[in-house]
Structure 1
Amino acid sequence: MSPKNMSEDTASEDKASRTDVRGVDIAKEKKKQAAQLKRVRRLRRCNVRMMILSVVILMALCVMLIARVRTLDGTVARLTAQVDSLMRLTAQQREMMEKMTEETQSAMGDKAVVGSLEKEAEGDEGTESGEPEEEEPDAAHKVYLTFDDGPSVNTEKILEILEKYDVKATFFVVGTACENNEEALKKIVEAGHTLGMHSCTHKYSELYGSVESFGEDLKRQQDYLYEVTGVKSNVFRFPGGSSNKVSDIDMKEFAQYLDSQDVRFFDWNISSGDGGSYLFPTETIIENCTSNISKYSTSVVLMHDSAGKSTTLEALPTIIEKIQAMEDTVILPITGGTKPVQHIQWQDGE
């Protein structure tokens, strides 16, 4: 074979080889493109499914939310109805309590005896007395503000209010309340107020168990107050009042025992109504303490000096202002010359 022919054959073979290579490359490229297209389609199907699933989940959540909202609407409506019902019930209870307070106060005023103690003007001769020996001024209406169950965290604030209005009052203190408030006892005496006794523990079962236990309680408190303040208290208020229904022993026996010890007891004929657990509104306390004063020549006003009586503390300035504005009316502490207000007639022959 001539060199020329050999060259032509080689060139043909090279050309065919290159054509085969290009064909293979094209086939590979098409295969690659087909695979990519398949992946793209698969991803699209997955995305569509995810979108459909998301829409379904969102719709389900919306349905659940709507159902929950409707349930809450029903709950809110029920709660609103219950609140309205409770408010009406509270208003009714308050109205009933105010009515009961008014009736009790009226009953006490009718029942109370003023000046039933024959030795009302005597008192102790010595200087050591819980009742300041002052001659009381003449007035058509004498008002005695009294505070039971103290001293407490409110005592100092009460004393500040009384000082501001230049008013003297009477504090019937409880022994257990005095233990951590001895400074308050001293301030009561130093400010010229009357220091009275209201038992050591205020526990009816112990106090009224017998005349002997009553006497022991009285002496223990009287001695304690004298030790702390240098004042011998000679005025007493029965826990629950002398007309209480708790004691199984006739309260006359306790009253007669007090008389044998030269101790006078004082009840009340006007009540603030703050003695229970219900916290009366300030306006009610003011009304209770001032509305009936004009009915009596002697008004002994019952209030309480204990930590929970915030509305009594709030009402006190207005109570004083209203009483001081009344014609021919004075506010006084209980003294040796004060006519006692007592719920029971306890002397023999009465």
Structure 2
Amino acid sequence: MYVVLLLGFLGMTAWGAFDIRLNYFLSAISSFKTNENSIALTFDDGPTAFTPQVLDLLARYQMKATFFCIGKQLESYPEIAQRIQAEGHQLANHTYSHSNQMGFFGTQKLIEEFEQTDILLEKITGKKNNFFRPPFGVTNPHIAQAVRKMKYQVIGWNIRSLDTVIEEEEVIYQRIVSKVNKGGIVLLHDTSLKTIAVLERLLVFMKEKKYKSVTIAECISLKK
């Protein structure tokens, strides 16, 4: 019996660590309540050389988005980050390094990662950042403690495109549109041409269905 309980606990803990929607270690917003036909398009891991094409499409279809930026990428593409800000989109923290070892970092190391990126974000936006998305959606007690120290609002998602894993554009597109509903938060990455192709189709779909995309900060406002 004790072995079964232990295995169950370990299984639940592992699941909780890898599925941010469960709010197992910390509280995250993965959708929002609204009476409007609104969703939130979010892009992780940029800015990159592909981001300008994403911005072009968003401008063409008059949509706003939130970009969860890696600090190193902000240093590599400062002009693109400035364009994101200038065009009315939101920038937020996605750690400095986006290390594959992030789940093993101690609390102080995580805080250093967060602070490095926040400094860069404040230089671009002129204001303090309050929003964070953990790489890979992974959470654990150290990440939770660091998030509390930084007083972040953690943002998850309820529509995961898997655009970094799936190669077929049609499969990615169908994963998204089959789940779109008002108050949804869509996870994309501004890191590939296939995502740009999917994004254009998605924006056409949104216009036809009369959806608009708002920033995460606007979602929080609507949620209140």
* TM-score, scaled relative to structure 1: 0.52
Deviations 1:50-91 (A, max 9, x none): xxxxxxxxxxxxxxxxxxxxxxxxxxxxxxxxxxxxxxxxxx
Distance 1:214 1:338 in 2: 25
Q: Name the SS of the counterpart of 1:202 in structure 2.
A: coil
Q: Tell me the CA shift for residue 241 of structure 1.
A: 0.1
Distance 2:103 2:81 in 1: 22
Whether 1:154 and 2:54 are equivalent positions in the alignment is: no
Deviations 1:95-144 (A, max 9, x none): xxxxxxxxxxxxx69x556xx959x8xxxxxxxxxxxxxxx9731x5311
Counterpart amino acid of 1:263? Y
Counterpart amino acid of 1:138? N
Equivalences for residues 107-256 of structure 1 within 5 A: 111-112=21-22, 138-139=35-36, 141-205=37-101, 208-242=104-138, 251-256=140-145
5+ residue gaps in structure 2? 1-18
What residue in structure 1 maps to residue 207 of structure 2? 324
Which of 169, 174, 191 in structure 2 is aligned with 1:282? 169
Distance 1:144 1:298 in 2: 7
Which of 139, 147, 164 in structure 2 is aligned with 1:258? 147
Distance 2:141 2:62 in 1: 37
Distance 2:180 2:134 in 1: 23
Counterpart amino acid of 1:147? F
Deviations 1:151-186 (A, max 9, x none): 111111111100011100000111122222000110
Q: Is the 8 A contact 1:270 1:302 kept in 2?
A: yes
- Greater relative CO, 1 or 2 (CA 8 Å, sep 6+): 2
Q: Count how many residue pairs are aligned between Structure 1 and Structure 2.
A: 200
Q: Which has more helix, going by share of residues?
A: 1
What residue in structure 2 maps to residue 292 of structure 1? 179
What residue in structure 1 maps to residue 160 of structure 2? 271
Counterpart amino acid of 1:286? Y
Equivalences for residues 59-98 of structure 1 within 5 A: none
Q: Name the SS of the counterpart of 2:82 in structure 1.
A: helix
Q: Which has more strand, going by share of residues?
A: 2
- Of all paired residues, the percent bearing the same amino acid is 26
Distance 1:205 1:305 in 2: 22
Cα distance, 1:231–1:186 mapped onto 2, change above 3 Å: farther
Distance 2:145 2:99 in 1: 20
Distance 1:311 1:336 in 2: 28
CA RMSD of aligned residues (A): 2.9
Q: Is the 8 A contact 1:206 1:213 kept in 2?
A: no
Q: Is the 8 A contact 1:146 1:172 kept in 2?
A: yes
Q: Is the 8 A contact 1:324 1:331 kept in 2?
A: no
Counterpart amino acid of 1:303? L
Q: Is the 8 A contact 1:255 1:265 kept in 2?
A: no
Counterpart amino acid of 1:333? T
Counterpart amino acid of 2:201? T
